[in-house]
Structure 1
Amino acid sequence: MAKGKFGGGFGGGMNMQAMMKQAQKMQADMAKAQEEIAQMETEATAGGGAVTVTMTGTNAVKSIVIKPEVVDPDDVDMLQDLVLAAVNEALRAAQEKSSSQMSAITGGMGGLGGGLF
């Protein structure tokens, strides 16, 4: 009597094992994707290439290159604006790449996969 009442709650042991195996595979795939994201680089420019920023997939600024001809001691504000624009664009692009990479693994479940694993 207990078997009929509780035994099939999850569709049997084999289905539970299959679900666990699938969850473990997703966890391994997500760990691999996170490693790939950490190695990814994104580059963005501002001012027609006057300032170039390279950022990693973990949102760390790796380099900032400023062409010498854009350095005007009388217009530091413009240079600051170009650096800011390039950093923000590189950050946006890096986040987009990371999000796309993780969505490919989680099938768009974002919070579910990221929250459980």
Structure 2
Amino acid sequence: MAKGYPGFPKGGGNMNNMMKQVQKLQKQMETMQEDLKNKEVEATSGGGAVKAVVNGNKELVSLKIDEEVVDPDDVEMLQDLIVAAVNEAMRVAEEKMSSEMSKLTGGLNIPGL
């Protein structure tokens, strides 16, 4: 007679169901990651003078700069505005991906995701 261990049921029926659920979750996560790669988020700095658009792969897709902030005597300010806009767009993209993943995983903290 097979003896069960605490926390583990006798037989493999539940294990098969769990494996199917894990495989389903993995497929859903792959689909969601692919969808998120195609989404874009934008962020601005300098009151909208610099706008950065980033995709779900955290790649800079576009950068728009209003002419009035282009001052040859103050290049550092423009550089700071660009860095701020790009960093904010990256942060928003990361937040969006994390939020979508946590909806799927039910808040589980799965390493590597």
- TM-score between both structures, scaled by the size of structure 1: 0.87
Contact 1:102/1:110 (8 A) holds in 2: no
Unaligned ranges ≥5, structure 2:
none
For 1:99, the equivalent position in structure 2 comes to 98
| Residue type at the aligned position of 2:41 | T
Q: For 1:11-60, what per-residue CA distance to the aligned partner results, in whole angstroms no more than 9, with x for missing partners?
A: 43221111111111101111011101111111000011100000011111
SS at match of 1:49: coil
- CA-atom RMSD in angstroms: 1.9
| Residue type at the aligned position of 1:47 | G
Q: Does 1:12 align with 2:11?
A: yes
Q: Does 1:51 align with 2:29?
A: no
For 1:33, the equivalent position in structure 2 comes to 32
Aligned-pair CA distance for 1:7:
9.0
Matched-pair identity in % = 53
Aligned-pair CA distance for 1:110:
2.7
Distance 1:67 1:33 in 2: 35
Contact 1:54/1:63 (8 A) holds in 2: yes
Distance 2:5 2:93 in 1: 48
Contact 1:44/1:90 (8 A) holds in 2: yes
